[in-house]
Amino acid sequence: MADTPLTPDDQQLARDAQNGSLAAFEELVRRHEARLFHFLCQKMPSREDAEDMAQKSLITAWQKLHLYRAEASFATWLYTIARRLVISHYRKHGKVKLCELEAADSVLVETNTPADECRRAEEHATLWRVAREALKDEAYDMLWMRYRDQLSIAEIATALERTNTSVKVMLHRARKTLARALEAEAAAEAHAIPARTLNPLGTPMTILNPC
């Protein structure tokens, strides 16, 4: 009995696409477009702008596919394209207010009840909102890539054109800055609503462990 064919990885699909397979590239798009969109939603002033930038990033990836090398993951290469397009966009049009991440898209853990789901969604939304406000763009990008998209240190370094050591140091500093910002947010809310029990460094911060 013949073995069941293995699902091709991104590198194989990219090679097939480089050889002219539109189906292979469409599969790469299917795998990565959602995360790419959520990443760009942090960069663009509206969901519509994020969708447009995601589309532009994918078109650019198709046009420049011959430049892709398998030493870097396809996701890293795609993020690099998207980030450069965003930088180019803001250089041309000027920087505007960044949109906030929707709570429903921020839930990274399974929950047992609707109440738990709502609470954790709020906590995750708060974490990424505070991160957006407290961190510089590059530090925020690093946290997003590391903890939302689970890219490796090496992949982040490639995408942001940094050394591995630089990424590790910046992630460490970003986590400390975010922890202080969350503590300040909790203190402010506790002062405004004394009866409410807050735990902003509970579930969300377990996501941002240094491992």
Q: Per-domain residue ranges for the chain?
A: 8-99, 104-211
Q: Model-level pTM greater than 0.85?
A: no
Mean pLDDT for all residues in the chain: 76
pLDDT score of 210: 57
Q: So what CATH class is 104-211?
A: mainly alpha
Identify the CA nearest to 208 among candidates 178, 164, 168, 165.
178
Among 24-33, 57-66, 117-126, the range scoring the smallest mean pLDDT is 117-126
Residue range 55-69, pLDDT digits in tens:
999 999 999 999 998
Give residue 198's pLDDT: 43
Domain 8-99 has CATH 3.40.50.1820: no
Q: Which two tokens stand for residue 89?
A: 């966009």
